Amino acid sequence: MKGTTEVLLNEKKIYKPSDKVLKNAKIKQWRAVQKKAAKDPVRFWDEAANDLDWYSYWGQTFDDSNAPFFKWYVGGKCNIVQNCLDRHMGTPVENKTAIIWESDAGKRRKLTYKQLNQAVCKMANGLKFLKIKRGDRVAIYLQNIPETAIAMLACAKIGAVHSVVYAGFSANALRERIDDQGAKILITSDVGHRRGKVIDMKSLTDKAISGSPSIQNVIVVRQGTGPVTMKMNRDIYYDALVDTQPSICRTEQMDSEDPLFILYTSGTTAKPKGVVHVHGGYMVGLNRTFQWVMDVRPDDVYWCTADPGWITGHSYIVYAPLMAGITTVMFEGVPDFPRPDRIWKIIEKYKVNILYTAPTLIRALMCYGEKWPMKYKMKSLRLLGSVGEPINPEAWRWYHKFVGKNKCPIMDTWWQTETGMFMISPLPSMPLKAGSATLPFPGIKAEVVDKKGNKVPVGKGGYLAIKTPWPAMLRTIFKNPKRYIDTYWKESPGYYHTGDMAHKDKDGYFWIQGRSDDVLSIAGHRIGNAEIESALVSHKSVAEAGVIGKPHPVKGESAKAFVILRRGVKGTDILIKTLKKHIRTKLGPIAVTDEIEFVEKLPKTRSGKIMRRVIKAAELGQDLGDTSALAD
Ligand code: WTA
């Protein structure tokens, strides 16, 4: 990380907004807006809530009487689906395209708001038919297809809690998440498509839920044409379930603080955390940040290339764009198949105005050369976004020049599964610096602090921390309030602890440096070092394992495992292959481990904890730092 920081500190060029961008920006006087919000953040968020529809208004905007279990819009009644769909019905928005979807094979599907609303109502009635009610958990394990959004909205509509599991996770990982939440229903598909290949999703999910104490039914979205093994009285095709259902369904009036979804994310232990988000604060935070940062206009076509299985997909593929009543693009597959121009082609084909993507994707496409984006004018593009990891200045400039053709501002948005919404991000009218997420969003108070919670001087690295609560924040860790307190409210006294390192420059701009804790970011996907270690030691040949992250030119970070084998086991190339495969089976392709090295010993503390920091420093040829805790 040291190398990155040095590069970032030398990044001085300021990109001022063009006259055109300034003229059209929703927020022109950004300093004044920030100043006003900083004076009274609660008032700022109170006003923001008025942009949305409520069944009945809240009494108290913010309640911190049971900190850190904060509440927002206390007593208010709402439903995020009311704002995504219901309120557009009977207005000109209902005939607008809500979702454009392109399949791996390039097939297109469009749904207007009216059609989407009908599909959601039918699905919601289908769930009710299967006896799903308020508060019940529904797991969704699907590729990036419109039914993922339909299923999420259908759950929310009837007050059920959805939990989407990214399709790149293994059967084991899916099972672990289903068990933790006690999901009654699993929504999946027969097959998925990626790079022209067919992935057998149904066999994988059958394996995942075999003997599950909670799953009552499996809803199968038909994506292929081949035979599917369906279990009697448990499995039902999505079409068969929804076809006979009425296309109207009442939206449940939820309390602001009622849970909307659980999304699992990696932490520092092997067990993923079930991050809980609620209807009220989440919808307000999303709507305000999306409207201002992405500067949306009513006729925009917007494309976020994330997968709905991640928070980016939840917040900014599904919920925020639909609340805004604009067109959101979804795509199945990968950016470089069938050719490395897939992204640029889609932008031209659907006249995309806003592109929101990740540095790892930009770097991967940079490897194919600028000749690919240069072939496309992409005239419709007005604004670009980045998320998931620090964007290195080189990738920023490439994105700006060859994709944005030097005219689109780049919104580098820093946020997390836990924050729910953008936290540190430019507004289009602000001057930009390549590689900086710029300033906290109005109403957010971010700081760089040391271990004791003291602010550190300008230019010095420290922990990125948030001073005051915000509406879209997580409410707890599902069934584990203690872990919620310990992870987020103890590490940086007086602050929400983000787990990231950062520094501020003299203009107050934030430069995010990466994680401070033991969480890897491989191609922008969060995965715990401990998760990979735990997968490794579950193999019969492995006694102990220590996993570290190494800088990687495309993926940002890659995982390397140091493994102590059990007595008598030989460390061969075949075993390396077997262990890599084993990790894949346990966790899924997302946890790809590039290197495995067999060692005799691992550096440990006296209490027996593996010191990953020391392994990493040794591997990267860096100073070992403080080794006083080392046992040997
Ligand atoms: C990292 C994704 C630098 C960060 C929305 C954070 C970023 C983690 C940025 C959360 C950014 C996200 N610049 N780093 N613009 N955006 N990160 O929960 O380390 O999948 O803590 O949420 O991604 O990852 P998560």
pLDDT at 7 exceeding the cut of 70:
no
What is the rounded CA–CA span in Å between residue 487 and residue 524?
A: 21
Q: Whose CA is nearest to atom 7 of ligand 1?
A: 389
Structure-derived torsion over alpha carbons of residues 84, 90, 91, 92, reported in degrees to the nearest 10: 110
Measured over the CA atoms of residue 63, residue 69, residue 74 and residue 80, the dihedral's sign is positive
**How remote is the CA of residue 108 from the centroid of ligand 1, in Å?**
31
Q: How is residue 208 written in tokens?
A: 């995942």
pLDDT band at residue 229 under the 50/70/90 scheme: very high
CATH topology of domain 522-619: GMP Synthetase; Chain A, domain 3 (3.30.300)
Q: Whose CA is nearest to atom 24 of ligand 1?
A: 416
Q: How is residue 414 written in tokens?
A: 């820093």
Structural contact between residues 399 and 362, judged by C-beta atoms closer than 8 angstroms: yes
Q: Name the CATH superfamily for 2-84+278-514.
A: ANL, N-terminal domain (3.40.50.12780)
Closest approach atom of ligand 1 to CA 390 = 3
What is the rounded CA–CA span in Å between residue 306 and residue 151?
A: 17
What is the rounded CA–CA span in Å between residue 219 and residue 184?
A: 11
**How remote is the CA of residue 416 from the centroid of ligand 1, in Å?**
5
Computed over every residue of the chain, the mean pLDDT equals 95
| Count of residues in the chain | 632
DSSP letter for 56, please.
B
Residue 23 φ/ψ region, left for φ over 0, alpha for ψ in the -120 to 50 degree band, beta for the rest: alpha
Q: Whose CA is nearest to atom 8 of ligand 1?
A: 416
Closest approach atom of ligand 1 to CA 524 = 23
Domain boundaries, the chain: 2-84+278-514, 106-255, 522-619
Q: Whose CA is nearest to atom 11 of ligand 1?
A: 414
Is the CB of residue 310 below 6 angstroms from any atom belonging to ligand 1?
yes
What is the rounded CA–CA span in Å between residue 485 and residue 480?
A: 9
The proportion of the chain whose per-residue pLDDT surpasses 70, expressed as a percent, equals: 98
**How remote is the CA of residue 558 from the centroid of ligand 1, in Å?**
16
CATH topology of domain 106-255: Rossmann fold (3.40.50)
- Give one DSSP letter per residue of 425-481, joined into a string: ---TTS-B-TT--BSBPTT--EEEE-TTSPBPPTT--EEEEE-S--TTS--EETT-H
- Write the pLDDT tens digit of every residue in 145-191: 999 999 999 999 999 999 999 999 999 999 999 999 999 999 999 99
pLDDT at 3: 45
pLDDT at 8: 56
Rounded to an integer, the average pLDDT of 292-309 is 97
Is the CB of residue 526 below 6 angstroms from any atom belonging to ligand 1?
yes
pLDDT band at residue 526 under the 50/70/90 scheme: confident
Structural contact between residues 68 and 489, judged by C-beta atoms closer than 8 angstroms: yes
**How remote is the CA of residue 415 from the centroid of ligand 1, in Å?**
5
Structural contact between residues 541 and 579, judged by C-beta atoms closer than 8 angstroms: yes
What is the rounded CA–CA span in Å between residue 176 and residue 120?
A: 28
Is the CB of residue 500 below 6 angstroms from any atom belonging to ligand 1?
yes
Is the CB of residue 517 below 6 angstroms from any atom belonging to ligand 1?
no
Closest approach atom of ligand 1 to CA 413 = 15
Is the CB of residue 417 below 6 angstroms from any atom belonging to ligand 1?
yes
Neighbour-count burial of 66, counting CB atoms closer than 10 A to its CB (0-12 exposed, 13-18 middle, 19+ buried): exposed
Q: How is residue 352 written in tokens?
A: 């995309």
**Which of 485, 444, 483, 486 is closest to 465 using CA atoms?**
444
pLDDT at 471 exceeding the cut of 70:
yes
Is the CB of residue 396 below 6 angstroms from any atom belonging to ligand 1?
no
Rounded to an integer, the average pLDDT of 118-132 is 98
Is the CB of residue 148 below 6 angstroms from any atom belonging to ligand 1?
no
What is the rounded CA–CA span in Å between residue 327 and residue 329?
A: 7
Determine the distance from the C-alpha atom of residue 77 to the mean position of all C-alpha atoms in its chain, rounded to a whole number. 27
Confirm whether 2-84+278-514 and 106-255 share one CATH topology: yes
Closest approach atom of ligand 1 to CA 525 = 20
Rounded to an integer, the average pLDDT of 545-550 is 94
Is the CB of residue 235 below 6 angstroms from any atom belonging to ligand 1?
no
Determine the distance from the C-alpha atom of residue 275 to the mean position of all C-alpha atoms in its chain, rounded to a whole number. 12
278 - beta bridge partners? 259
Say which residues have a Cβ less than 8 Å from residue 610's Cβ, sequence separation at least 6. 533, 544, 546, 602, 603, 604
DSSP letter for 301, please.
E
pLDDT band at residue 9 under the 50/70/90 scheme: low
Three-class secondary structure assignment of 260-275: EEEEEECCCCCCCEEE
Q: Whose CA is nearest to atom 25 of ligand 1?
A: 416
Determine the distance from the C-alpha atom of residue 276 to the mean position of all C-alpha atoms in its chain, rounded to a whole number. 14
pLDDT band at residue 2 under the 50/70/90 scheme: very low
**How remote is the CA of residue 613 from the centroid of ligand 1, in Å?**
21
Structural contact between residues 164 and 140, judged by C-beta atoms closer than 8 angstroms: yes
Q: Whose CA is nearest to atom 10 of ligand 1?
A: 416
Rounded to an integer, the average pLDDT of 394-417 is 97
- Write the pLDDT tens digit of every residue in 33-60: 999 999 999 999 999 999 999 999 999 9
**How remote is the CA of residue 312 from the centroid of ligand 1, in Å?**
10
Closest approach atom of ligand 1 to CA 425 = 15
- Write the pLDDT tens digit of every residue in 560-602: 999 999 999 999 999 999 999 999 999 999 888 999 999 999 9
Test site for ligand 1: of 500, 501, 513, 518, most ligand atoms within 8 A of the Cβ: 500
- Write the pLDDT tens digit of every residue in 186-219: 999 999 999 999 999 999 999 999 999 999 999 9
Q: How is residue 160 written in tokens?
A: 């059920």
Neighbours of 505 (CB within 10 A): 16
Q: How is residue 540 written in tokens?
A: 């019969």
**How remote is the CA of residue 75 from the centroid of ligand 1, in Å?**
32
Number of H helices and number of E strands within the chain?
A: 21, 30
pLDDT at 267: 84
Is the CB of residue 151 below 6 angstroms from any atom belonging to ligand 1?
no
